[in-house]
Structure 1
Amino acid sequence: MSTTSRLNCIIPPYLLKKLLESRDSELRQAALDTMLTTARLRGERAVRASFSGAAAPGNGRRTVFDCDQGSFLPAAVVARPEDGPESADESVNRAFGGLGLTRDFFKEVFQRDSIDGRGMRLDGYVHFSVKFNNAFWDGRQMVFGDGDGRVLGDLTGSLDVVAHELTHGVTEHTAGFEYHNQSGALNESVSDVFGSLVKQWSLKQSAGEADWLIGADVWTPGIDADALRSMKAPGHAYDNSLFGRDPQPDRMSKFIHLPDSEQGDNGGVHLNSGIPNKAFYLTAVGIGGFAWEAAGPIWFESLKASGAEAQFHDFAHTTFQKAGELFGIGSPEQSAVLAAWQEVEVPIRGVPTGIARARSLATNGNGGRGRQDGLAALTRQIGELSAKVAKLAKDVSALKTTR
C-alpha cells in the first residue's frame, strides 16, 4: 500500500461522516458529494500511479488554475503563472502564496529544490467542484475546494493546510511512509509538523509563541472550534454539538485501533498522528527558540533516513540518533527528543523509561543542577551505546554481503 497511489486529504473522513449525520440536508449533501468525489478521484489516482513516471523538473515554478466549480482538472484555466500579475481572485493569490512559501521554506531551511528535491513544478487548482469540503495532494498537484460556506470555508485560507499537503509530496520522495496504521500516522504527522513550521517560519514565531494549530482558518466563524488539530494539545482542537469532541490521542496508552480500511481512516492515520505530533511539539518547546532551527532539522533528517514501514518506535529511535549526530551525544537537543517521546509513551531502544520524569523534575526546578547533569551524562551514555550498536549492525550486514 504505497503513498504514491494515495489521495492525501486535509479533512479527515470522520469529520465528513459527522456532517452526514447532521439534520441539515444541505450539510449532508455537501458532505456526501465530497466523499463521492473523493472516492472517484482515489480510483483515478490509483490507475494513474500504475503507469505514471517521475514528474518533470520545473525549477519549482508555480501555476495556479481555476476549476470554476468543475472537477475535471484538465479543463481548468490558468489563473496565475509564476511570472504573472496578481489575480483579482483572492483564492488564487492565497494558493499562489502558500505554494511559494512552502517551496521557499524547504529551499532556505533544508536546501531542498522543491518538494521532490529536483525542482518539481508546483501546480495548484482552486474552486474545485461545488461546495467541496476538502483540499488534497494527489501526487502531482494541489487541489482546493471552496467548502460548503456553512461549516468549512475556502481551503486556501490556511497556509499550514497548503504546506501540510505539499509535505505529503516531500514524504513520497523521501521515506515514503505507507499510508496505514502507524506508518500512515507518521505520514500525517510529518505533514502537520512541517505545515506548522512553514507557518511559524513565515511569521518568524518562536516555538513558545506559536499556536501549534493545524487548519485554524478552515472553519467558518459560526463553528465553535479552534482548528482541525492541535499539536500542543491533541484531543482539544474542538468540542461542539456538531462534531463532538476532538478524538485525537496524545500518548500510546490512548492509541486508537481502527480497521485498516477507508472507513477506518486506514487504521486511524488522522487520529493517532496526535501522538508523534505531541512529541514534536514537546521537542521544539524543550529546545526553545525557532523550531525550524533545531527540532525541524532533526525531524527532516529522520524523515530522509526512515523506511516506508516505520513504526512510532522506529521513528523515535531515528530522531534520537539524528539529534545526537546533529547536535552532539548527550546534548540538550538530544535530551529534549528523548524526554518528548517518553512523555507520549513511545520507547526508544535501549533507553530506560524513567528518564523523562527525571528530566521533568530537573527543568521545573525540583531536580537541581545535579539531576540535570546526571540526565545529560546518562543521555550521552545511551547515545554512545546506540551508536556502537548501529555500527556493529552495519558491520555485520557488510560481512554477510561479502560472503
Structure 2
Amino acid sequence: MTARCSVVPPYVLEALAASGDPRLQAHATATLDVDSALRRGRVSAETRAGDAVLPQLEPGTDAGPVRAVYDAETGTSLPGELVRSEGDPPTGDTAVTEAYDGLGATWQLWQEAYGRTSLDDHGLPLLATVHYGSDYDNAFWDGTQMVFGDGDGVVFLGFTRSVDVIGHELAHGVTQYTSGLNYQGQSGALNESVSDVFGVLVKQHLLGQSAQEADWLVGAELLGPGVDGVALRSMAAPGTAYDDPRLGTDPQPAHMSDYVDTAEDSGGVHINSGIPNKAFHDLAVALGGHAWEVAGQIWYDTVTGDIRADCDFATFAGLTVAAAAARHGEASPQEEAVRAAWEGVGITVGEGTPGDDAGDQAPESPAPGAPAPGPTPPADTEVEVFRTGGLAGLTRRRTVALHELPEPDTRAWQELLATDRLQQEAAAVGRDYPDAYCYGVRCTRPTLDVQVPEPVLTEELRALLERTLGGGTGGAAG
C-alpha cells in the first residue's frame, strides 16, 4: 500500500475535536475519521470506487510538466471529474487555479534547481483533486496524487492557498521515489522535515526570495483570521507557530534537549521534525543567498544518495556533512556551516572522514551477539502478522507477500527472516506481560511461528510490524 501523507497533524485535529465549538468539532471529527480510514488502507477499496483508477497520462519532460486537476465536488471518490488539463485556460474556480499553479511551481523547483524531471525523475504526471469532502480539514499525498479539502472556513481555509503546503506534500512523493524514509520516530520526523524544507523552497523559488527575506513558515495562508498563530509550523522558531485555545500550543522542539519521546503521531513525526527544520533554516541563513542553491542542494544530494530508510537524526546529519564535503571540499566553509547548524540543535558530527561517526549507517559485520544471517528468503515469501491484546483477543491480522510491501520494508523483512532474531527475542522474555499487546509472525519459508510482547520489541522492529499490519509504507504522512 502506498504512503498516505497529510499536512495537518492528528494532534491538531484532536484539539479541534475537543474545542467545544460544535461546528469545529464536527468537521475535525469527520476529518479524523476519513484520515483514519485512509491510513488503514481503504483508499483503493473505497475512495477510488466511483472513478476506478487514475487515467494513464503521458509523462512530462524536462521542458514542462503534465498536470491534471480534478473536482471531487465535496465527495470522497477519487480522482473526481477532470476540470483542467495541462495547457488548458483557467476555469474560474480559485481552488483549481491554485492547485494547477502550485503543481507547476513545485515542478519548476525540482527541475530548475536540481535537474529532476518531476517527482520520480521520469516525468511523473502531477495530479490533484480539489473540493474533497465536506469542509475537509486537511490535504494529503496518497502515493499517486494530491488531494485538497476546503477547510472548515473558521480555523482552516482552503488547502490550495499555500504553495508551500503543495510543495510539502509533493515532496513526500520525491521521498517515496528516493530515500523511502520510514514514517516512524526519527526517520519519520526526517521524512516530514524534508517535505517542510522543499515545501518552503518551492515558495522561495517562486517568489525569488533569499534566505533572509523568506518567512520560513509552513501553511501561513491556511489559518483563519481569528486564529492566534501565524502558520502550522515555523522553521525559524519551532514551537512558536500558534498558541490558540482551539488548536492548542505548537509542540515542536528546536533542540535535542527538548526532544519529545512519544508514541503518538507515529512517534512524534510532526513534532520532532522541528529539530532538523531548525538546522536547515540556520544553515540557509548562515550561507545567505537563495536557500535552494547551496543548502537545498546539500539536502537534495543527501536524500537522493546512499541513505537508509531507517536513518536517524545523527546519521542524517553525518550524511549532510559528507554531501557538503563532496560538493564543496572537506573543511570548506559550506561543510563547516553544516556542522555548525547541527551543533546548534544539539547534534555533533564527528571530525573524521565525512560520514564517519553519525554518518555510518551500518557496520560491515554483525555486532557481537547479533543473530547470524542465513539464506535471504525470496521476495514472494508470504508472512502473516497479527497483534493480540489481553481480553480483547485478536485485534488485527494481515498476510502479505514481501514484494507487495514498499522496497525498504521488503528488504527489512528479508534481512529479519534471514536471522533468528524474532525467535531470540521471544525466548529472551524474562517475565510475563499480562496486559501488554503481543505481535506474532508466522511464515512457512523459512518456518516461523513466534509471538513477542510489545514492550520487549525495539522501536525499529515494532514499527516494521505495525507498518506491515496497517498496510502502510515506510514512507510518509504529512
Query: What TM-score comes out, normalization by structure 1 length?
Result: 0.83
The answer to whether the Cα contact below 8 Å between 1:319 and 1:337 also exists between their aligned partners in 2 is yes
**Pair 334,88 (structure 1): closer, same or farther in 2 beyond 3 Å:** same
* 1:193 equivalent among 194, 197, 201: 197
Aligned to 2:84: 80
Aligned to 2:3: 6
The answer to whether the Cα contact below 8 Å between 1:34 and 1:133 also exists between their aligned partners in 2 is yes
Q: Give the secondary structure class of the aligned counterpart of 1:206.
A: coil
Asked if 1:141 is matched to 2:145, the reply is yes
Q: Compare relative contact order (CA 8 Å, sep 6+) and give the higher one, 1 or 2.
A: 2
Between 9-18 and 328-337, the greater mean CA deviation after superposition: 328-337
The answer to whether the Cα contact below 8 Å between 2:178 and 2:303 also exists between their aligned partners in 1 is yes
* 2:166 equivalent among 140, 162, 166: 162
The answer to whether the Cα contact below 8 Å between 1:7 and 1:45 also exists between their aligned partners in 2 is no
Q: Give the secondary structure class of the aligned counterpart of 1:179.
A: coil
2 CA distance for matches of 1:389 and 1:187?
A: 22
1:188-267 correspondence runs (5 A)? 188-259=192-263, 264-267=264-267
Aligned to 2:280: 280
* 1:184 equivalent among 170, 185, 188: 188
Amino acid at match of 1:287: L
CA root-mean-square deviation: 2.4
The answer to whether the Cα contact below 8 Å between 2:66 and 2:126 also exists between their aligned partners in 1 is yes
Q: Give the secondary structure class of the aligned counterpart of 1:299.
A: helix
Asked if 1:114 is matched to 2:118, the reply is yes
- Is there any run of 5+ residues in structure 1 with no aligned partner, and where? 352-381, 398-403
2 CA distance for matches of 1:197 and 1:68?
A: 31
Aligned to 2:412: none
Amino acid at match of 2:175: T
Amino acid at match of 2:308: G
2 CA distance for matches of 1:127 and 1:393?
A: 43
Greater share of residues in strand: 2
Between 149-158 and 238-247, the greater mean CA deviation after superposition: 238-247
2 CA distance for matches of 1:176 and 1:243?
A: 31
* 2:69 equivalent among 64, 76, 84: 64
The answer to whether the Cα contact below 8 Å between 1:219 and 1:227 also exists between their aligned partners in 2 is yes
Asked if 1:19 is matched to 2:16, the reply is yes
CA positional deviation for 1:388: 8.6
**Pair 386,63 (structure 1): closer, same or farther in 2 beyond 3 Å:** closer
2 CA distance for matches of 1:45 and 1:326?
A: 44
2 CA distance for matches of 1:24 and 1:393?
A: 48
Q: Deviations over 1:223-247 (max 9, x none)?
A: 1210000000000111122223211
Amino acid at match of 2:73: D
**Pair 41,175 (structure 1): closer, same or farther in 2 beyond 3 Å:** same
The answer to whether the Cα contact below 8 Å between 2:311 and 2:361 also exists between their aligned partners in 1 is no
2 CA distance for matches of 1:221 and 1:274?
A: 25
The answer to whether the Cα contact below 8 Å between 2:12 and 2:248 also exists between their aligned partners in 1 is no
Q: Deviations over 1:272-327 (max 9, x none)?
A: 00000000001101111110110000000001121100000010000000001111
Between 166-175 and 321-330, the greater mean CA deviation after superposition: 321-330
Q: Deviations over 1:99-143 (max 9, x none)?
A: 011011101111111001111111100000001000000000000
Aligned to 2:463: none
Q: Give the secondary structure class of the aligned counterpart of 1:272.
A: coil
CA positional deviation for 1:56: 7.2
Aligned to 2:300: 300
Aligned to 2:329: 328
The answer to whether the Cα contact below 8 Å between 2:279 and 2:341 also exists between their aligned partners in 1 is yes
2 CA distance for matches of 1:389 and 1:31?
A: 44
* 2:40 equivalent among 38, 43, 62: 43
The answer to whether the Cα contact below 8 Å between 1:45 and 1:138 also exists between their aligned partners in 2 is no
CA positional deviation for 1:24: 1.0
Q: Deviations over 1:73-118 (max 9, x none)?
A: 14x1111100211111010000000001101110111111100111
1 CA distance for matches of 2:218 and 2:361?
A: 39
**Pair 204,94 (structure 1): closer, same or farther in 2 beyond 3 Å:** same
Amino acid at match of 2:337: A
Aligned to 1:359: none
Aligned to 1:346: 347
CA positional deviation for 1:183: 0.2
- Is there any run of 5+ residues in structure 2 with no aligned partner, and where? 46-52, 366-478
CA positional deviation for 1:57: 5.8
Query: What TM-score comes out, normalization by structure 2 length?
Result: 0.70
The number of residue pairs the alignment matches comes to 352
Aligned to 1:93: 97
Aligned to 1:357: none
1 CA distance for matches of 2:86 and 2:300?
A: 27
Q: Give the secondary structure class of the aligned counterpart of 2:215.
A: coil
